[in-house]
Amino acid sequence: MRIDLHAHTTASDGTDAPAALGAAARAAGLDVVAITDHDTVGGWTEAARTLPPGVTLVPGVEVSSTAGGVSMHLLGYLFDPGDDELANELGRTRDDRVPRAREMVTRLAGAGYAVTWEQVLTQCGSEATVGRPHIADALVANGVVPDRSAAFAGPLHNSSPHYVRHYAPEPRRIVELITRAGGVTVFAHPGAHRRGVTVDDDVIADLARAGITGLEVDHPDHEPATRNRLRGLAGELGLLVTGASDYHGRGKPQPLGAELTDPETYAELVARASGRTVVTA
Ligand code: AMP
Ligand code: ZN
Ligand code: FE
Ligand code: FE
């Protein structure tokens, strides 16, 4: 079984429509794919409706979070999206991403970069969770940078003067809400330090006490030493270990299925969740 538990669509900052995810998974030889857009479940229905035979969909989300000023991403799977408090938190984050992205565009334009808010909206569309990748796409369209990666290495980097934060709940709160909604939680790319500051092991230990289910150890942004360290930590803390591509379509180099979760771990995640079931055609 080939299982990839982290993929984005145009409901956030991926480039494949939710209706194209199932076919992309099938083309990549996957048996199981999770839809995990940033701070939204907006792609679930279309992704489920368009699943080809032989592909199982895991409904999920990648929730933005901050702990002591450090940005973290938490994957939630198989939860009930109707939970009011959870829906409110996701909505609050999505809403605050708009003035945040506008402020980044204002700063970039003020520094001489060719980009307008209208151009970012054109890249993003009206339904998607807006993020820096859409600003990157506008910069690419204007010929300022060749691709998203170059935009993130430069003007959009976390340490850039044009970077602006947005509202995001504390990780403990997200773990509580998703668990209460019947879901399971996995800390996404905990060691992706090239993107910015990562949290210390004690934060991960706190999350384990708060009931987090697993760590995404096998991720394209983790080098071998990081994977070994995180695998050891997961063992010490009794957490499951997952692997996933963090697929963004044309927005990132890695293809679907670039990293995988083993079938026993997948079965354990499904067994521990009660808010939603996996979807098959
Ligand atoms: P934001 O949530 O608006 O702060 O933007 C972060 C998003 O940008 C995450 O989805 C990342 O996957 C994406 N991202 C981070 N670094 C890169 C990169 N080098 N190339 C493309 N996308 C990136
Ligand atoms: Zn993303
Ligand atoms: Fe992420
Ligand atoms: Fe992601």
Q: Which ligand is the nearest neighbour of the Cα of 74?
A: 3
Q: In b/e form, how buried is each residue of 144-161, taking b as 16+ CB within 10 angstroms?
A: bbebbeebbeebbbeebe
Over range 226-245, report the average pLDDT: 98
Could you tell me if 216 and 189 are in contact, meaning their C-beta atoms sit under 8 angstroms apart? Answer: yes
Structure tokens at 162: 């044009």
Sign of CA dihedral 173, 176, 181, 186: positive
| 194, pLDDT greater than 90 | no
Residue bearing the CA closest to ligand 1, atom 8: 133
Please tell me the pTM assigned to this model: 0.97
Mutate to test the pocket of ligand 1, among 145, 248, 254 (most ligand atoms within 8 A of CB): 248
What pLDDT, on the 0 to 100 scale, is given for residue 63? Answer: 98
| 106, pLDDT greater than 90 | yes
Over range 251-272, report the average pLDDT: 97
Of 64, 116, 59, 68, the residue nearest 95 (C-alpha):
64
Integer Cα distance of 24 and 16 in angstroms: 9
Integer Cα distance of 267 and 157 in angstroms: 37
What pLDDT, on the 0 to 100 scale, is given for residue 5? Answer: 99
The closest-lying atom of ligand 1 relative to the alpha carbon of residue 13 is 10
Integer Cα distance of 250 and 203 in angstroms: 33
